[in-house]
Amino acid sequence: MPPIAPANQPANAPADNIAQLLDDLRHNVRNDMAQILVDFRHDFRNDLKTRADARDFNAIARGWNSTVNRPEWDLHPLKDRNTNEDIEEFPRTVGDIDRMNARDIGRVLRALGQSCQGGMPEKRRRLKIAIGIVLQAA
């Protein structure tokens, strides 16, 4: 014989409680998903803005660097394309590029979204082109 529900509680109360719990859970999941979507859109917009700011800054810096034609002239530093922050170990002059080690050249190339493949002469050439030095890149 099934248990008898107390007088103040309907016989289908456990099923109603489960249904309410499921409705609450569904509501919470929907709210969480909506917040995740809002956060994702916000982060995506911020990421696009950061990349666009770095791209614009770097375009101007490359323009300035394209006028450099002597090894001792100062370069205009570029920004990391993903963070829009200054690139660590960015060369101060064209002459500094010729003295950079493979690790530092690789770090700058990666910050600019460039390949690190090839030997040192190819990496130096790629770095010069990536930062706008066209007169001495050959």
For the whole model, what pTM was predicted? 0.71
DSSP 60-79: HHHHHHTT--STTSBPPPPB
What is the length of the chain? 138
Q: Name the token pair of 114.
A: 């460039």
Parse the chain into domains and list their residue ranges.
Answer: 13-130
Task: Report the distance separating Cα 85 and Cα 51, nearest Å.
Answer: 10
As a whole number of angstroms, the distance between CA 111 and CA 95 comes to 20
Range 10-21 burial, b when 16+ CB lie within 10 A, else e: eeeeeeeeeeee
Per-residue pLDDT tens digits of the chain, which is 138 residues long? 555 555 565 666 777 888 889 999 999 999 999 999 998 999 899 999 999 999 999 999 999 999 998 999 999 999 999 999 999 999 999 999 999 999 999 999 999 999 999 999 999 999 999 999 987 655
